[in-house]
Each structure stands twice: as structure tokens, then as C-alpha cells.
Amino acid sequence: MKEIIQYTLYFHAFAGGIALLSGLLAIATKKGGKQHILSGEIYFYSMLTVAVTGLIVATYRGTIFLQTIAFFAFYLAFTGKRVLRNKKEVHVSKLDWVANILSMTVGAYMLYLGILNLFRSGFVGAIPMLLVFGGILFWIAVEDAIKMKKKKWIKNDWLFTHIGRMGGSFIATSTAFLLINISFEPRWVVWLAPTAIGSPLMAAAIGKWKVRLGDRKKKGAKAN
């Protein structure tokens, strides 16, 4: 059994590496182009593999920290991909609700573990990750549940959600990569550095698209 788990861990690491490379390619290529779509598909299925293999290893070893990051990253990738169906009409399925409820539960559990260990050990180790990522996961899951129940999205929300979710998923994946490969103290710097760097860049990308879409709308109004 130990050998099977070890090979599963190797496959987990390999899928994580593919996710990083394909994620970088998706960021670098033209949005909506063939390379962007293909690299995005590879990234999604790589993250699915990371989540499944991570769950197997976590169950066997009784670990939770890096596996919760993998789940967090996959939910962002999952919703980032699914929201593309909402360009013209809102689509909500049972699969969306199952993923949402599961993610809300995992986010609440991460917060519970983070708060519990914060009082026991202080702001050290994986506690910052549990608090920050757990809080974000719970919040976006609640937000998604409200949107799915109302079945209402603002115009172009699918685009902004796609950028934000895929970008957030890549940030979480990068965090896991750095934690495994870099030894640096205090550890919370490694936990939060990708979020601190990536979040402003992601916000800038969304802002750029809002300006671009606003300019198109103005040009269309003038033409009419």
C-alpha cells in the first residue's frame, strides 16, 4: 500500500507541474485563442488530477494542509470553467450545487482548524493559510450559492469571474509549489506571498477588461 501511495504522490506532483506550466501558458497567450483554450483545458484536468490524488494521499496519511489548498485551487478552476456557460444564459446544475456545498463545508472546516490552532499555537505554520484560504473559499462558495439561487448575473460577469477564479486557482497552485520546494522562515511569508503578488495583477487584468468593454460599448452607442 505504501508503494501505491508513493506512486500516487509522484503522479500528484507531476500533475501539479503540468498545471503550473499550462497555467502560465494560458496567462501568456491571447484570451479566447486556440492556445489559450487548449492550455486552459490542460490546466483544468491537471488540477482535477491534483485534487483527486491529493485526497487519496491525505486520507492515507491523515494530512490536511496542502490537500486543502489543492481542493481550494480546484474549486476555483471548476467554477472558472463552468461560468463560461453563462455568456448568454445562466446555467445551474446539480453538479454545481454539489461542488458548492462541498466547498462551503471545506472552507468552514479550514476556518475552524485555523481558529482552533491559532489559539493553541499562534500565527505560525499553516495557520495563516487555513484562515486566509479557508475564509476566501467559504466566502466565494456562499456568494456562488446566492447567485445560483437567484440565477442572476450582471452583464459580462462570466468574464470577470473566469479571470478571477482561474487566476486565484493559479495563485493557490503556485503557493503549494513554493511550500514544497522552498524553505524560508517565517513560513507565513511563503504561504501569503503569491496571494499578495498575484491578487493586484489579477485585479488589474479585470480592470483592463472592464475599460476595454466600456470603450466598445461607447463606440457601439456612437455608431447607432
Indicate whether 89 pLDDT > 70.
no
Quote the crossing angle between the two packed helices 157-181 and 34-61, to the nearest 10°: 50
Average pLDDT over residues 77-89: 80
Task: Please give the single-letter amino acid code of residue 20.
Answer: L
Contacts 24+ apart (CB under 8 A), 204-213: 205/163, 205/167, 206/160, 206/163, 206/164, 209/156, 209/159, 209/160, 209/163, 210/156, 210/160, 213/156, 213/159
Q: Is residue 128 very low, low, confident or very high in pLDDT (cuts 50, 70, 90)? A: confident
- CA atoms of 121 and 127, how far apart (whole Å): 9
Q: Is residue 120 very low, low, confident or very high in pLDDT (cuts 50, 70, 90)? A: confident
How would you class 46 by CB atoms within 10 Å of its CB: exposed for 0-12, middle for 13-18, buried for 19 or more?
buried
> Domain segments of the chain: what residues?
2-82+91-215
Q: Which one has a higher pLDDT value, 66 or 95?
A: 95
Is the pTM value of this prediction over 0.75? yes
